[in-house]
A and B are shown apart, each in its own frame.
Chain A
């Protein structure tokens, strides 16, 4: 492994963006970073709140119309290489909010995340389990390691 990919694997900075979920996934993700039981830092995953510092963007929620632009801006601010992890049912397919009554789409939801920004890894669950989030971030790693 070259120094480049080695260093990328040894320090992964994660940024969280909540785009209008129910708070369940959000709390679970904060839980997996702040709770000593899961402790993301032992897997070399560090929390940051600054897109300029981040490598991996973890997005939860179905991306409401009002959140679409901020999410795009934040994605744009992250320097390459970057990867997006969509966490939770809402982020994957809009959850219960996207389609109301069969095929009628909701006017409030711009998501799922895939339609707004490119997604590298998807973590299912309502709400996601902390272990799954960590494995999702790790699953997105090869994309970072092999990037130019």
Chain B
């Protein structure tokens, strides 16, 4: 095989993988809603395509408005940055991209996931929704008990929570990313994959099983899925940082969520099963299968649990982090 054909197939593989991943990810919210939530709640539920596929398309066709924000352009750009960062995660895990060296390490992935979290903080600071302090009320001072208190937006509250989430909430997922590193004794994805091709998947070791549990919980926290949705609790901050997004930006938010589920599933398959996402490899079906099982499991958990406040959140994070650390210790033994 000549060099040029190799390059062409590689490029096609990368583009094909990204497109297929994108396409699969659009169906995940529908699967979650129709097959899990609606089933558990004993109702018919929405059509499969509606929540994840048709809703973003609809939002693309809506009127573009200037969000109520001190920096509307930056605010509208944030979801694109988030989408781009998870796009890059998927890109760097594709085996054809392993020549990029330092970008295809676990460290780079941690950094890109961190962007996803930090973005929420910026969103919260920049959003000024009509539903919080912007809501007109006839008489603000009427009977105020503390008239001198600084009035705060609901989004500022969720921005503070995003900060706490960065500080401790994302601990489990970062710990668990280093279990394969400890096993393969290398930061490079290529060597982690190669290690598993020789020694069998990490999943079938004690460290791997512990890592799987922690990865699942950690990704739910990262995704702000329901029991851990402190950023966007309906009971207080409504939708939190995402409140001002409309039209195209809202569509990116919808796409980002489904895509992040897929990317996390694919990352898990790469790190714990040794199957990097590659459309030319028949094992790509494992990635797709995991990406479908992943939201189903998450939806089951979220359908049966109330929202967590910090009182429940801290112990859960601490507990999963400890399991993750045990996993790393097990990986060294």
Q: Which residues of A contact B (CB under 8 A)?
A: 3-4, 6-8, 10-11, 13, 36, 39, 41-42, 44, 46, 49-53, 55, 66, 69-70, 73-74, 76-77, 79-81
Q: Do residues A51 and B130 form an inter-chain contact, with CB atoms below 8 A? A: yes
C-alpha gap A50/B130 in the complex (Å): 9
B30 to chain A, nearest CB (A): 10
C-alpha gap A56/B184 in the complex (Å): 54
Contact with A along B49-66 (1 / 0, CB 8 A): 111001101100111110
Q: Do residues B238 and A53 form an inter-chain contact, with CB atoms below 8 A? A: no
Main secondary structure of the interface of B (DSSP, over half): loop
Residue ID in chain B nearest A69 by CB atoms: B136
C-alpha gap A44/B131 in the complex (Å): 25
Q: Do residues A7 and B57 form an inter-chain contact, with CB atoms below 8 A? A: yes
Check: B43 CB closer than 8 A to any chain A CB: yes
- The 3 A-B residue pairs whose C-beta atoms are closest, nearest first, are A10-B54, A42-B44, A80-B63
Q: Do residues A41 and B43 form an inter-chain contact, with CB atoms below 8 A? A: yes
User: Which residues of the partner chain B approach A49 to less than 8 Å between Cβ atoms?
Assistant: 131, 234, 238-239
B242 to chain A, nearest CB (A): 8
User: Which residues of the partner chain B approach A44 to less than 8 Å between Cβ atoms?
Assistant: 46-47, 50, 54
Stretch at the interface among B206-214, B244-252, B311-319: B244-252
Check: B289 CB closer than 8 A to any chain A CB: no
Known interface pairs A10-B49, A79-B246; A41-B33 also in contact (CB < 8 Å): yes
Q: When the two chains form the complex, which single residue of A4, A46, A51, A77 contacts B51, counting CB atoms closer than 8 Å?
A: A46
Q: Do residues B58 and A11 form an inter-chain contact, with CB atoms below 8 A? A: yes
Check: B282 CB closer than 8 A to any chain A CB: no
C-alpha gap A127/B242 in the complex (Å): 34
B121 to chain A, nearest CB (A): 20
Check: B306 CB closer than 8 A to any chain A CB: no
Residue ID in chain B nearest A144 by CB atoms: B58
C-alpha gap A42/B67 in the complex (Å): 31
Q: Which residues of B contact A (CB under 8 A)?
A: 33, 38, 41-47, 49-51, 54-55, 57-58, 61-65, 67-68, 129-131, 134-138, 234, 238-239, 242-247, 250
Q: When the two chains form the complex, which single residue of A46, A51, A52 contacts B46, counting CB atoms closer than 8 Å?
A: A46
C-alpha gap A6/B54 in the complex (Å): 8
User: Which residues of the partner chain B approach A39 to less than 8 Å between Cβ atoms?
Assistant: 38, 43-45
Q: Do residues B62 and A80 form an inter-chain contact, with CB atoms below 8 A? A: yes
Q: 13 A-B contacts, Cβ less than 8 Å apart? A: A3-B57, A7-B61, A8-B58, A13-B55, A39-B44, A42-B46, A52-B129, A52-B243, A53-B250, A55-B58, A70-B135, A79-B62, A80-B62
Q: Do residues B58 and A10 form an inter-chain contact, with CB atoms below 8 A? A: yes
C-alpha gap A52/B41 in the complex (Å): 27
C-alpha gap A144/B46 in the complex (Å): 19
B123 to chain A, nearest CB (A): 13
C-alpha gap A17/B203 in the complex (Å): 50
Known interface pairs A11-B54, A36-B41, A77-B130; A50-B239 also in contact (CB < 8 Å): yes
Q: Do residues A10 and B50 form an inter-chain contact, with CB atoms below 8 A? A: yes
Q: Do residues A81 and B134 form an inter-chain contact, with CB atoms below 8 A? A: no
Q: Do residues B136 and A10 form an inter-chain contact, with CB atoms below 8 A? A: no
C-alpha gap A77/B247 in the complex (Å): 12
Known interface pairs A36-B42, A36-B43; A81-B63 also in contact (CB < 8 Å): yes
User: Which residues of the partner chain B approach A46 to less than 8 Å between Cβ atoms?
Assistant: 46, 50-51, 55
Q: Do residues A7 and B58 form an inter-chain contact, with CB atoms below 8 A? A: yes
Q: Do residues A11 and B244 form an inter-chain contact, with CB atoms below 8 A? A: no
Q: Do residues B246 and A52 form an inter-chain contact, with CB atoms below 8 A? A: yes
C-alpha gap A30/B44 in the complex (Å): 17
User: Which residues of the partner chain B approach A66 to less than 8 Å between Cβ atoms?
Assistant: 137-138
Q: Do residues A79 and B65 form an inter-chain contact, with CB atoms below 8 A? A: yes
Q: Do residues A41 and B38 form an inter-chain contact, with CB atoms below 8 A? A: yes
Residue ID in chain A nearest B138 by CB atoms: A66
Residue ID in chain A nearest B34 by CB atoms: A41
Q: Do residues B130 and A73 form an inter-chain contact, with CB atoms below 8 A? A: yes
Known interface pairs A11-B50, A39-B44, A42-B45; A52-B244 also in contact (CB < 8 Å): yes
A55 to chain B, nearest CB (A): 8
C-alpha gap A128/B135 in the complex (Å): 27
User: Which residues of the partner chain B approach A11 to less than 8 Å between Cβ atoms?
Assistant: 50-51, 54-55, 58
B170 to chain A, nearest CB (A): 25
A133 to chain B, nearest CB (A): 17
C-alpha gap A42/B57 in the complex (Å): 19
Q: Do residues A79 and B63 form an inter-chain contact, with CB atoms below 8 A? A: yes
B14 to chain A, nearest CB (A): 28
